[in-house]
Structure 1
Amino acid sequence: MPITSQAAVRSPVARIFLNVGQLVTGKAAAGLLSLVYLVIVTRVLGAQGYGVLVLVNAYALLLGSTLAFSGFHGVVRYGAIAIERGDKASLARIIRFMAVVELGCGAFAVAVAAIMAPIVGPRLGWSEQTIRFALPYSLAVLATVRATPQGILQLAGRFDLIAVHQTVSPIARMVGVAIAWAMSGGLIAYLGVWLFSALAEGLAMWLLSWQSWTRLVEGERVFGSWRGATRENAGLARFILTTNFDITLRELAPQLVPLTVGWMMGPAAAGLFALAQRATNVLQQPAVLLASGSYSVLADLAARGGGRPLRLAVWRSVGLSGLGSLIVLAALTVVGGKLLVWIGGSTFTGGTGLMLLIAVGRALVLTTTPLGAGLTAMGQPGKSVAAALVSNIVLYPLLPVLLLWLDVNGAGWHAIAQNMAAAIMLTFFFARVRDRRA
């Protein structure tokens, strides 16, 4: 059901959590598969080998999130306005424009990743064989080139297909890991599996969005006019540049932090940090789902005038997210002492404190995610960018200091400092900002 027709039958908060509920079904299946293949990979490779795998993947995704272009916010916000006024031709131009920009930037990011791999790899503890494989692994950047089709699916209300997409990478990894394990494969074999899953993840989103594209812009060609998109949609260019910068800043830390840990402390420490992060995905993934599930609803409310309904939807989402975070934190505190060893084996002993620190930081992200989505939907993405800039860039120099002072646990304290700063800023901004129509 398209977002414009959902509004007539459900409250905004109900629509947000219905969307999240649909996404959770896919994420739950993905989580179960991920746990199975993660146990195999970490026990086969150990902390050192798993750390190298994490660093190669983080390097590719860092270049993807930095140089590639994510424009789904523009597709959803300005697409919702075009749908509201019944202008399918304008909607088609917006989508084509974003696809051209995203695919072009993605190709550039792949090239840069391939060129830089031999320079970066030795400092991160990669072997010569790993460095050679890092060149084709640069294609994993394409896993991040899928924002435009995601925006199409959100506009069409097809969160069920977004949920299906969330199972693509875990299924590909599970099948690949089973084959690599059966053939007694080593690090390069598992890197090949990760590359295959990345390519499948990127391609699948474009394929899943095809039917929604044909329905939303019925009668419009795929390869048609796109150059007039910024001219006929006032503020589109500035909006997508700002929101892309925001997303880049938010995705920078998840890839930059493990690379920093690996650079300063070696692959084994990076492997321990990465597994602690994976163990707390029960908090991280709901934040991603909430941002995805809430933004189209809030953009729809903003297109209809915003005001009190939008604000109530955001604050109620914050309250429910905070309650869920507390429950998950309590559960992790109970089982935390054994969780990493259960998953990865004895080489991951000693990561309990780090895992709990990361969990607290991610709980803060989950609780305040609706505030960032609300600010962007109200045409104020710069506020969200400011919070991301402070937490991910201004506070980044604190990470090496904490690592030197507190060893790998310093990365956990850094996560808390980052997300506390962002939470305070987002709360302050949202409490003061006024609605602004595009």
Structure 2
Amino acid sequence: MLRPFSLFIGVRYTGARARNSFISVITLISALGLMLGVAVLITVLSVMNGFERELQTRILGMVTHLSVHGREPVQDWQALAERVMEEPGVMAAAPFVELQGMLTHKGVVAGLMVNGIDPAAEQDVSIVGDFMWEGELDSLAAGEYGMVLGYGLARQLGVEVGDKVVLVLPEASLSPAGVTPRFRRFTITGVFRVRAEVDSLLAYVHVEDAARMARQPGTVQGVRLRLDDLFAAPRLGWSMQHSLGRDYYTADWTRSHGNLFQAIRMEKTMMTLLLSFIVAVAAFNIISSQVMLVTEKRANIAVLRTLGASPGMIMRIFMVQGTLIGFAGTALGILLGILMATNVSALGQWIETTFNAHMFDAYFVNYLPSELQWRDVGIIAGIAMLISFSATLYPSWRASKVEPAEALRYE
């Protein structure tokens, strides 16, 4: 079978056993180093993609993309919703009343943010209804003072569906007994679990019950909006601010969680840059092994030159060999990286369960997320192959400069 001469000899050199075993060891180390670098890069980028996905789907799914607040209590939120829905990019709107307070149950106290919502409209702007652990979001009805708690809050207070809790607001009320804090007893009608920090911070009540607690019955503070592109929230908010006038102001998710999102993006970039040095170290190993191989094969190179091989052909022979080493390391690294990326979440959960270690409690999600993106795999593979190919240029050039007479003088 006819083959290109340079490819044929390069493949033979790659598979042949070197007379100096140290060269074979260095070659193996360079391939293993490249494999490790590629695998670690794929795994780390998948984990960072997982954190970014969780931030967008869970945290930002619970947090409002964009909200319009009235400087005075809003009497007719439907009219306000119709006005803002005319803006391009706005998908849905729902009323809200926000309260800050404390919940008490059998002597246990927990601080929280209470969101007064319309359950029917809230389904269009929030994912909370898709993550109900117990009960239903529709169980909130006006005048019944029901409450849907986050899973973390429910565990902290030790309550279940049907239990009674007392909501205490920091505003004081005047009564015949003097100044007393404002409080009301609520019944737990549901528990949601998003597996994020909001599980320990949020509770939902009906918007009319929240308005009564705020001493502003029949009104809302504004409307929450869901956008088709959450990254357009600052621009749309600025546009609405001008169109609605001074009676309203807007707030978007970048003010509350923008720093976290930017931090994940920056950390992903920096981790990619730092871990790329592993691939660079493997490339230096390829250079060193190729230089030693060229020294060992000087006599062979001289024979090939005397038989008519051109310097370019000699250069291509060693470029083929170095590229094959890079290809083998990259291919094995891709396979190992895919295996690690698809199982790292289960591995993290196993470590937490086996060693009773809570490694992720300090993060905004309480498990190790991972999302393998084939675009990242392709980019990493391309960069690894480019570095491997570049590492073959100098040793191959050295091989092409070998003089036959000088190399065979002492043979």
TM-score (structure 2 length as normaliser): 0.23
Structure of larger gyration radius: 2
Larger proportion of strand: 2
TM-score (structure 1 length as normaliser): 0.22
Larger proportion of helix: 1
* Structure showing greater relative contact order (alpha-carbon pairs closer than 8 Å, 6 or more residues apart): 2
